[in-house]
Structures are given as structure tokens and as C-alpha cells.
Amino acid sequence: MTFIADLHIHSRYSRATSPDLTPETLWRWGQLKGIGVLGTGDCTHPGWLKELEEKLAPGDNGLLTLREQPHHSAVPGSCRSQLSFLLSGEISCIYRKGGKTRKVHCLVLLPDFASAHRLNDSLAKVGNLASDGRPILKLDAKELLKMVLDASPRAMLIPAHAWTPHFSVFGMASGFDSLADCFEELAPQIRAIETGLSSDPAMNWRVSALDGITLISNSDAHSPSKLGREATVFDCERSYQGIFSAIASGRGVASTIEFYPEQGKYHADGHRGCGVRLSPAETVAHGFRCPACGGKITVGVLHRVEQLADRPAGSTPAAAPPFHSVIPLPEVIGAALRVGAESKRAQAVYFDLLQRIGSEFEVLLEAPLETVAEASCAAVASGIGEMRSGEVEIEAGYDGLFGSIMVRSG
């Protein structure tokens, strides 16, 4: 069975998130996007976990469903589908190891509420879980992995956005050069990494040490409309065990849906304060200092991959699942119409397309361009066609600034 999953999101209990992040709103937007299984996010937060237990009902397949679904008018008939939830959360580990401060974000997947409570009981002895939906704990990532496995042998820890500079397992500023450096003898228990918005599978394929590690993608959404900006396509039983086995073995992950990595806010090197964007070679030539002010350059994901890569660009391991690079539909519409993606005009076209065709993923990846043109206009259809063929103009993101990806029709 093929379905799209987005397993890393946040609730309104996390910092810098939308207050609209409720189970009901997630249920609605998951269907608008075309997602079949959605992570709950923030399952370590006591307030959010309590709300999840009240509003989500466990099913025989290990997934959760909304007990009281909103009126059918909340989702157009063209987008209505079964949406399940899977218990998930992100934890920020900040600790000293190897003479260096490490900051590693980890995604955890859990099979049931009992496992979540067991994990939270262990984590509560380390720090305050109620202060943030993504708790910041003085905890070695290896010790977190032990706690996750103690909570349930069917639980899973996945290094989140594995390449970003400041908070990831491979990040230039605070990470490691290998999974073994971080997790030591428990490294074989790490079956997957999340590639993050600033990298894509092709970049990761250059690192042979990741052969046998499943590459997954998720949105890390902080608002409902950002759901599915990255996602993983599964071809397996639609159940917790099906997803767990697919990730653990790599068999059952059919493909991923990706940002163009240049659009990620840490793809290139640079110094945002001076508006300086650099290639890896330019960074080295300037001694890792900003040529404008002499300040420290933030080394981006592209450069970090270059440092650890032992294969040339374009290398593809045998049997590697394909991926699809997409631009969020409101941005395509905004570029085509020469308006902002959040403008009333772009939003009206967006919801009209969903009403007349189907979910955002269906519009972006599957709908015939003639159908899109009939439901909107030729410029929007042309923009989607250019996105599908990779004919986009790119200004790479750097030092926390999202990149600019434009379709030529705009």
C-alpha cells in the first residue's frame, strides 16, 4: 500500500509555532496536503500528550485516529482521505563530548501511549519537559537512544535534519564526523537519518558511510500550512509496524518528496549580517571568515557534505529510492501570478485548485497540466511543469536565510 507520511512536525507547545497547531487542524491540513500518516510531534510535552490521549483513539494497526472529526465541510470532497497519526517528538540534546559542545536534535517514533509515558518518565529525571514541546536536555544522544529503546524495542530514534550546522549529528558547528562517533556501540541501532530541508538524497549518496542507512524526509512544520513541504512515500502496510520495518530495512520506502535543497536556509556558506553568500571553495579561500567584516562564516550543508563525501557528485547507490524535488504550491502560484504566496489572490487560487483537482501533492506531482490550466491559468500550469522538470532559478539559502526558488514562468 502506497501512502505519504510526514513524521516530524511540532505542536503549539513548541517555541515559534502557530497557535493553530491542534489535532483537529492537523487532521484538516494533512488531508489538504495529501498526507496519509502524520506524526503528532512533541509527544514529550505533558500538556500535548494529555490532549493527544483525549482526542486520538488507538487503532489495531498501532496508529491513531481523531475521535471526533470536524464537519465534512472542513475538507473539500476532492481531498478527503483517511488520515492517521503516529506518536513522534523531537528532542534537543546539548552536552559535552570529545572536548566539544554537541547539539544534536533527534526524532523519536513510539508505538503507543504507554511507551511515550515510559520515555517521558526517564526524560523528566534529566530536565523540564513542560518548558518546550521540543525539550532541551543536557543529555548525550547515545543515552537518549538507550532511553528510547528501553521505552520500547519497537521505538526508533532518527537523527533529525542531520546536516544543519548548529543542531544536528553531522553539523559543522557541533556535530560528529560519523554516526559511530556519536552513538558508539549503539550506532547499529540508528537505521535512518532525516536529510533535512538543506540537503537531498543525491547529496547524501556521496557519503558511502550512509550506505544501508534509510534516508527519510519530513517537514519539521511549525505551522499547519507547512505540513508536507518534505515527506516520505511508503509502500508497505499502513501500520506502525509497517512503517517501523520499512524504515529499519529500507524496503518499503518508495521515494521521498524534497525541497530543492538550495531553498533550505543552511544550504550554502555565508554571513547573513553582511549579505555574503559563498561557495565552499570561496569560504576556504577566505579562511572561513566573512570577506566583508572578518566575522565567522556559517558553514552550510553543501560544504559539510563535501567534507565528508568520498564519492563524486552524481553517484547513486544501487537500489536507492528516487526522490521528487518540489516547490510548495502557494509559492508556485505566487511566482506565476507575480504576487506573494500568502496574498489573498494566491490563496484563493490555491484553495480553488484543491477544490477542483485534489490535494496539494496531487496538483504538484500528478495532475495533467491541462487540467491545472483549466482549474487556474496557463501561467500556474507552466510553473508546475517547470518545477517538475527542474527548470527553476535558484538563489541558495545561507546562514538561516531561506533560499529563493523561482519558476521561470514568474
pTM: 0.97
Q: How far apart are CA 39 and CA 31, in angstroms?
A: 13
Q: Which of 219, 236, 262 is a domain's end point?
A: 262
In a domain, 395, yes or no: yes
Q: Which of 262, 285, 308 is a domain's end point?
A: 262
349 and 249 housed in the same domain: no
CATH number of the domain at 224, please: 3.20.20.140
Per-residue pLDDT of the chain (410 residues; tens, 9 = 90+): 999 999 999 999 999 999 999 999 999 999 999 999 999 999 999 999 999 999 999 999 999 999 998 887 899 999 999 999 999 999 999 999 999 999 999 999 999 999 999 999 999 999 999 999 999 999 999 999 999 999 999 999 999 999 999 999 999 999 999 999 999 999 999 999 999 999 999 999 999 999 999 999 999 999 999 999 999 999 999 999 999 999 999 999 999 999 999 999 999 999 999 999 999 999 999 999 999 999 999 999 999 999 999 999 999 999 899 999 999 999 999 999 999 999 999 999 999 999 999 999 999 999 999 999 999 999 999 999 999 999 888 899 999 999 987 776 55
51 and 175 housed in the same domain: yes
351 and 252 housed in the same domain: no
- The answer to whether the beta carbons of residues 409 and 386 sit under 8 Å apart is yes
Q: Which of 212, 246, 262 is a domain's end point?
A: 262
Total number of domains constituting the chain: 2
Parent domain of 393? 327-407
In a domain, 284, yes or no: no
Residue type, 54: E
